[in-house]
Amino acid sequence: MKTIKLGKSGLEAPAIAVGCMRINGLEKANARRFIQTCIDLGANFFDHADIYGGGACETMFAEAIGMNSLVRENVILQSKCGIRPGAAFDFSKEHILASVDGILKRLKTEWLDVLLLHRPDALVEPEEVAEAFDALHNAGKVRNFGVSNQNPAQIQLLQKYMRTPLVVNQLQLSVANANMISQGLHVNMLDDAAVNRDGGVLDFCRLNEITIQAWSPFQYGFFEGVFLGDKKFPKLNAKIDEIAERCGVSNTTIAIAWILRHPAHIQPVIGSMNETRIKDCVKATEITLTRDEWYAIYMAAGNVLP
């Protein structure tokens, strides 16, 4: 498994992260086998959130992996907080501190490698977030911090008050949902692809050494469906299948290789609980698409060049 530097953290992380949003849907024995498969493949970076399964996913993970001090040293754990079901978002110091204590208890660990704020909070008080992060860092409960779905100005506002750098921004990205890339190609154009919907977050993160983690790397729209094998994307699937056959890999592998080819060193978060699919995703770290292949896939998805 190839590794990347996770932002400015100094942490060497696998190029592929494993999302655990659905792990509570597995029987414990199957969850144990799935986690071990990931670790054997070198995919030992596991992404959680306190709202996944209402906390049940973190509990299942810890039980399935048999969490102890030795096991803990061999995995990288990331979780997210800030979404309160039924009450929207809460980045208050009180909520962040309580959330992390709950996460640590469920994961049966004394620390998180990374904590992310889960989406933006319109009522955020950045000084209060910084106080919470300082308290967690000083107590040894969280080693690194990041955000999800935030634009450059939101990140800068938080960073102004923080003592440690934000190292991750988790954003939706796939070849069929690639506006953060498209807008950079359509600068000064009048078409829809030129609309700057995120403040140039891709270039901002590269400039500030913030690792982008791509969630839903197989989805189009906002959880509208997977583009692989979908009749809505005949040209895209034909092109991916053509390249996959030439490379002797699956279409899943090529879809992830497309993201990995970008020089921003984006880390895809794979949410599948299927062992074969995880293996196919990891295989993508061994493939480097040519420039022609990358653009051919991009355009086959319906993206246009100016």
Residues assigned a catalytic role: 52
Residues recorded for the chain: 306
User: With DSSP H G I counted as helix, E B as strand and the rest as coil, what are the percentages for the chain, rounded to 5?
Assistant: 45, 20, 40
Closest C-alpha among 230, 217, 227 to residue 258: 217
* CA–CA gap between residue 24 and residue 28 (Å, rounded): 8
In degrees to the nearest 10, what's the CA dihedral of 32, 38, 44, 47?
A: -80
Exposed, middle or buried: residue 113 (CB in 10 Å: 0-12, 13-18, 19+)?
buried
**Per-residue b or e along 46-57, where b marks 16 or more CB atoms closer than 10 Å to that residue's CB:** bbbbbbbbebeb
What H or E segment, with its residue span, contains residue 4? strand 3-5
| Residue linked to tokens 């792990």 | 23
CA distances (Å), origin 121, targets 56, 88, 98, 148, 232? 24, 8, 17, 11, 35
| 170 beta partners | 148, 213
Opening angle at CA 75, ends 161 and 210, nearest 5: 35
Question: Where does the chain have alpha helices with state H?
Answer: 28-40, 56-65, 69-72, 93-107, 126-138, 152-161, 179-185, 201-207, 234-247, 251-260, 275-283, 291-300
Alpha-carbon distances of 265 from 40, 82, 174, 221, rounded to whole Å: 22, 26, 14, 23
